[in-house]
Structure 1
Amino acid sequence: MEELARLAGITVRTLRFYRERKLLPPPRREGRIAWYDDHHLARLRTVSALLERGHTLSGIAELAEAFDHGRDVADLLGVEGPSEEEPVRLTPEELAARFEGEVTPENLAAALELGYLGTDGDEIVHISRRLLDVSSALVREGIPLADVLTAAGRVREHADALADMFAELVLRHAPEDDIDRLRPLARSILEAEFSLALDRRLHKRG
C-alpha cells in the first residue's frame, strides 16, 4: 500500500480513504498479503485527473462503479433498452495498442466521463465498436486523442438535442413505440445533412 501511494503521489491515508469510498477496487490477496498492480495505479491517476477536472468524490465514485461494471455504463448515461451499437471487449494491452502513446490518465478520465469505457472482470468494455474504430482511425491520422474526446463531448451535446427533436416529432404524430422503428429514417436524415454540410464547408474553402 505504501509503494502504491508513493507511485500515485498521494498519502497512505488518502489511499485508505479512496478504498473506503469504493474508488479503488480491492487488491488481490495471497494469505495475509495484499497485492496491488498497474490497474490500481492507473485508477488512482484517473481519480486525480477527474479531481483536477472539477469532479466531486461522490461523482467519481459513481463513475468508478460504472467503470467496474461495464455493462451498466449505459445506465449511467441514461441509455435504456436495446441499442444498435455493439460493445467491444479489449485487454488493457489491446486498448493501448489502438491508441499508441495516447492512453494517459487524463484521456482515460475523459473517456470514463463520456461513458465510453467500462470494465467486466479483467476486460475493458468500449460502449460502441463504431466509435472505437473511428476514434482510433482519427488518432492514426495524427489527431491527438484528447482533441478527439473533446470533439466527442461536443458531438454528444448536439446528438442529444437532435434525438430529442426527432423523438418529439414522432411523439406528436405516432405512438411512442414508433421511435425505435423509425430510427433508420432519422439516421439517414442526419447522414445526408452532415454530408451536405461538409460539401458546403469545402465549397467555402475552395
Structure 2
Amino acid sequence: MEELAREAGIPVRTVRFYRERGLIAPPRREGRIAWYDDHHLARLRTIAGLLERGHTLTGIADLARTFESGRDVAEVLGLGEPTEETPVRLTPEQLADYFEGEVTPENLAAALDLGYLATDGDEIVHISRRLLEVSAELVREGVPLSTVLSAGRRVREHADALAELFVGVMRSHSTETEPTQLRPLARAVVDAELSMAFDRRLRRDDGTGPKPAETKTPET
C-alpha cells in the first residue's frame, strides 16, 4: 500500500480510505503480503482526475459501479466484424472532459446500454469517433446529454429500418451488388431525403410552407 500511495502521489491513509469505501478493488494477497497492481494505480489516478473535475467520491463510486457493469468491447464491436466507424479509446477523465458536467451514472448507463460505450480493462471505448464528436458538439450547444442519448435511441430504430429496406431491395432485385456496396448509395438517398425534410420542416415552422392537411369529422 505504501508503494501504491507513493506512485499515486497521495497519502497512505487516503488509499486506505478509498479501500474502505470500495473505490478500489481489494489487493491480491499472498500470506501477509497485499499486492497492488497497475489497475489499482489507474483507478487512483482516475479518482484524482474526476475529483479535480468536480465529481464527488459518492458520484465516482456510482460511476465505477456503472462502468464495471458495462459490456466488453469485443461483445459490442464484434470480433472481425467490418465497420466504417473508428472506435476511440478514452480514460474516464477524458470522457468527462468531452461532456463536462454531463457524465452521470444515468447517462453512462444509457450510453452503455445503447452500445455507444464499451469497456476494455481500465479504458472506455466509444464505438464511433463521428458519433462522439457530434454528441459532444450538441452538448456544447446546450442540448443535455440525456436528450442526445434519447434521440440516438430513436435514430437507431429508424436507421435499422432503413438498412433493412435497402438491403432487402438490393437482395430482391440485384444479384451482382454486394450489400457492402450499398453504403454510399444508401447514404446519398438518406442524406438527400433528410436535407429536404429539414427544408420542409423549417418552412412549416416559419409559416412559409404548406401545413399538414386537416381532417374534418362529419357532424352527427
TM > 0.5 between the two?
Answer: yes
Taking a change above 3 Å as real, the CA distance of residues 80 and 188 of structure 1, as seen in their structure-2 partners, is farther
Q: Deviations over 1:140-166 (max 9, x none)?
A: 000000000000000001111111111
2:114 paired with 1:114: yes
Question: CA offset at residue 169 of structure 1?
Answer: 0.5
Structure 1 residue runs without a partner (length 5+): 8-24, 48-60
* C-alpha RMSD of the superposition: 2.8
Matched with 2:160 is 160
Q: Deviations over 1:164-200 (max 9, x none)?
A: 1111101101248611012100011111111110000
| Structure with higher RCO (Cα < 8 A, 6+ apart) | 1
Give the Cα separation in 1 of the matches to 2:26 and 2:87: 27
* Count of residues in correspondence between the two structures: 166
Question: CA offset at residue 80 of structure 1?
Answer: 7.1
**TM-score, normalization: structure 1?**
0.70
Structure 2 residue runs without a partner (length 5+): 1-18, 48-59, 207-220
The percentage of counterpart residues that share the same residue type is 54
Taking a change above 3 Å as real, the CA distance of residues 139 and 33 of structure 1, as seen in their structure-2 partners, is same
Question: CA offset at residue 90 of structure 1?
Answer: 1.3
Question: Which one of 64, 82, 98 corresponds to residue 43 of structure 1?
Answer: 64
Question: CA offset at residue 71 of structure 1?
Answer: 3.4
CA contact 1:92–1:124 (8 Å) conserved in 2: yes
Taking a change above 3 Å as real, the CA distance of residues 174 and 93 of structure 1, as seen in their structure-2 partners, is same
Residues 1-206 of structure 1 mapped to structure 2, 5 A cutoff: 2-4=20-22, 27-29=26-28, 31-32=33-34, 38=47, 41-44=62-65, 46=66, 64=70, 66=71, 69-75=72-78, 81-175=81-175, 178-206=178-206
Question: Which structure is larger by alpha-carbon Rg, 1 or 2?
Answer: 2
Give the Cα separation in 2 of the matches to 1:114 and 1:145: 13
**TM-score, normalization: structure 2?**
0.66
CA contact 1:170–1:176 (8 Å) conserved in 2: no
Q: Deviations over 1:12-35 (max 9, x none)?
A: xxxxxxxxxxxxx96554743676
